[in-house]
Structure 1
Amino acid sequence: MNARPPSAVIRHAYIHVPFCPSICPYCDFHVLERRGDQVARYLTRLDEEARELGQRYDVQLETLYLGGGTPSFLRDDEMKALVASVRAHLGWGRLENTLEINPGTVSPARAALWRELGFDRASVGIQSLDDATLRFLGRQHTAQTARDAVTELLAAGFRVSGDLITAVAGQPLERDIEGLVALGVEHVSAYTLTIEPGTPFARRGVEVDEDDERRGFEQTETLLTGAGFERYEISNYARTPGAHSRHNRAYWTGEYFLGLGPGGAGFYPPIQSRDAPTSQDRGQPLPFRRTNPHLHEWLTGAQGEAELLSPGDVATDSFFMGLRLREGVHLPTVSRRSGLDVLAHYGEVIDDQIGRGLLERSGEYLRATPQGWWQLNSVVAALMERDSEAETLSP
């Protein structure tokens, strides 16, 4: 058995359920419609994977996130089996357990069952409360179905977050947001419609107008903050600090997390064992990423290849994720995790981005300005270019 590194406790787990009742034309996740005995085989393999990870790592879960796909598409007995496997091998989240939910799968009885199994937070794929917009997005539910689902989940005792897609041509965004707020959700995740290569939208030549994108980005903040929500992350809003997504914060702040299921991605501590990833030029043991293969290969027991991280990778990943947060990145933490003096290494780039009005310093924190949030990809690209230049100059 692999030796566990000291103080490398994993407190978060993501589980991917790839099955969907239908595939949305904008989706580029690993998803598929259920066929034959695929779900039964999935549950058997997931049980094995949970046992393996529970034996390999010191797992003390604080948060669990069941995403997809459409996890709520699982039948009741299938959901019970999945939860039993997780509890047996990994435990259960002490602080928060989120279930991604399609509105069309909700009923009062099912909501009560999910709560009984231990889920306390629902992330509902509403996307819009306008039927024409939903039809364009290929969603199978109606606006009324979404309203009913939120009402039933709240009645069952869930903390409810509503997903919203913006920048859709003709979308009545103000009405969408006002409707979400009126439903009583405590959290909103608002994402711009993005056309990814290989999706049906891309093949059909669907495009997102840049003016619509910028308008949606700004209008969402104006309307939600005006309704009393705090924009605590670039795409996420909460009524109170207690409504923040604790699980997603683990991603944004660089904490370790397990990734289970086909296509599931995890971020793992360095392992001192003969089969652990190694690198001869590391100055200190560094964590690594691993993304599971897709369903067919994953069912055979195959694991994704570990991605070795350099000190620069750890630092720029911390910037890419942490600058999404309103409070920004804690620079001493990034230095400690990466082994780099980040102010010495990236100082010129940081000063340049501050001069451009995209970043600002506040004590030990570096954060993005509102304009920096809009141009965050270019800010991180400049930091990554600093690493590329350093590698080129290395002997």
Structure 2
Amino acid sequence: MSSAQPAVPPHPPAIRSPVTIRHAYIHVPFCPSICPYCDFHVLERRGDLVERYLARIEQEAEALAGRYDLALDTLYLGGGTPSFLRPSEMETLVASLRRHIGWGRLENTLEVNPGTVSPERAAHWRGLGFDRASVGVQSLDDPTLKFLGRQHTAQAAREAVQQLTSAGFRVSGDLITAVAGQPLESDIAGLIALGVEHVSAYTLTIEPGTPFARQGVTVREEDEERGFEQTEALLTAAGFDRYEVSNYARSPDAQSRHNRAYWTGEYFLGLGPGGAGSYPGNPETGEQPFRRTNPHLHQWLAGEHGDAEPLSPEDVVTDALFMGLRLREGLHLPTAAYRSGLDVQAHYAPVIAGHLRLGLLELDGEHLRATRKGWWLLNRVVTAFLEHDEENAEAQNRARDRAGE
């Protein structure tokens, strides 16, 4: 779709959307250094970019508040390295968000790099209203951290978690698995000993265009499988619940409420360069639900908007499948049918039946969920749903062509 002819107007229309949005993601692209595996929109700070970023965020927040009814339950400041912002910059950002879109009623998460934490900074963030910290620990082994290009040490990560906990944060620790030679067992034991209430464990992936890809770094399948199996075994033995394919919580209250909004298909604002949002559209104006990803920093600073991608009923369902099947309880079929207007079980009957036979999916009452084996092969499962829609579309096109002959 051309940005010159967006399907959704880039500026607030006269009629506000009647659907309340309860979640907001704000992207802060600045980092102290760029990790060689990272493919997010990030850059090192320079010149007056942060000042211009803060001014543009305020404009964007004000515009979104004019278009949507907002009553935030969760807010997530991600990056990049949001904790890299100076105290005065963080104050300005938080003030802009509170003034225009509000603050989360249930949870407000700050992504934190261990190298940016001190007792004073932790207390400052807590005083601004952040109550949950997602800490990029990645490993508690110095050689592994060096390979990953991380600038902090294992000891710095331990101290960061302790300082955040002391300041009153609920702490989640990020862990990268499948690194060759990584002492995964001691990494996990170390996180557990630090008392984190939540662990996000992601397999190292080599994305095109990253330094690792250019260097020819690869990830062995045996390391991937070992990470997948061992992480679950060790964390569940310690009392953590694997509630999502890559996420573990000590208790239901420790789950990420913000991320659950993604996985259950809720609408959310996306602010900042590269920030992605999911929006409800407006039945009164005929506007479809849509996704929008903001352009990178310099285009965003210039006021450009990312293309709006209207969502067809099939798009709504495949998004719901891709996200919902990540959860242990799976996809709630009546909710997916209500949001999309499609009878999901009927529309995808052959795909569902085939994966039930393969033991990759299972039906449990009103939920369609991935089995443990299905989690391991989740991309393959979701691809089958996408291919089913593509085949249907091709068949319909052929039928129309024949009718026109």
| TM-score scaled by length of structure 1 | 0.96
Residue 281 (structure 1) aligns with: none
Note if 1:173 corresponds to 2:175. no
Note if 1:257 corresponds to 2:268. yes
What is the aligned counterpart of 1:324 among 323, 326, 333?
A: 326
Q: For residues 351 and 89 of structure 1, what CA distance do their matches in structure 2 show?
A: 47
Residue 8 (structure 2) aligns with: none
Residue 304 (structure 2) aligns with: 302
Q: For residues 47 and 138 of structure 1, what CA distance do their matches in structure 2 show?
A: 33
Residue 78 (structure 2) aligns with: 67
TM-fit CA distance, 1:286: 3.8
Note if 1:5 corresponds to 2:17. yes
8 Å contact 2:282–2:288 — kept in the other structure? no
Task: State the Cα deviation string for residues 144-172 of structure 1 (Å, max 9, x = none).
Answer: 00000000000000000000000000000
Q: For residues 16 and 65 of structure 2, what CA distance do their matches in structure 1 show?
A: 11
Residue 104 (structure 1) aligns with: 115
Q: Which runs of 5+ in 1 are unaligned?
A: 279-284
Residue 358 (structure 2) aligns with: 356
TM-fit CA distance, 1:134: 0.1
- For residue 40 of structure 2, give the secondary structure of its aligned residue in structure 1: coil
What is the aligned counterpart of 1:84 among 81, 87, 95?
A: 95
Note if 1:35 corresponds to 2:46. yes
What is the aligned counterpart of 2:55 among 23, 44, 49?
A: 44
Q: For residues 306 and 2 of structure 1, what CA distance do their matches in structure 2 show?
A: 18
8 Å contact 1:2–1:271 — kept in the other structure? no
TM-fit CA distance, 1:390: 1.1
Note if 1:134 corresponds to 2:145. yes
Give the counterpart letter for 2:362 in structure 1. E
8 Å contact 1:3–1:272 — kept in the other structure? no
Residue 53 (structure 1) aligns with: 64
Q: Which runs of 5+ in 2 are unaligned?
A: 1-12, 401-405
Residue 282 (structure 1) aligns with: none
Give the counterpart letter for 2:333 in structure 1. L
Q: For residues 298 and 273 of structure 1, what CA distance do their matches in structure 2 show?
A: 29
Give the counterpart letter for 2:378 in structure 1. L
Structure 1 stretches of at least 4 aligned residues deviating more than 4 Å after TM superposition: none
What is the aligned counterpart of 1:233 among 233, 244, 251?
A: 244
TM-fit CA distance, 1:299: 0.2
Q: For residues 316 and 276 of structure 2, what CA distance do their matches in structure 1 show?
A: 16
Residue 207 (structure 1) aligns with: 218
Task: State the Cα deviation string for residues 214-237 of structure 1 (Å, max 9, x = none).
Answer: 111010000000000000000000
TM-fit CA distance, 1:392: 1.1
Residue 175 (structure 2) aligns with: 164
Q: For residues 98 and 71 of structure 1, what CA distance do their matches in structure 2 show?
A: 10
8 Å contact 2:21–2:70 — kept in the other structure? yes
Give the counterpart letter for 1:292 in structure 2. N
TM-fit CA distance, 1:273: 7.4
Give the counterpart letter for 1:16 in structure 2. H
- For residue 9 of structure 1, give the secondary structure of its aligned residue in structure 2: strand
Q: For residues 181 and 14 of structure 2, what CA distance do their matches in structure 1 show?
A: 55
RMSD of aligned residue pairs (Cα, Å)? 1.0
Task: State the Cα deviation string for residues 327-376 of structure 1 (Å, max 9, x = none).
Answer: 00000111111111111110111010000000000001000000000000
What is the aligned counterpart of 1:287 among 269, 289, 293?
A: 289
TM-fit CA distance, 1:5: 3.1
Residue 143 (structure 1) aligns with: 154
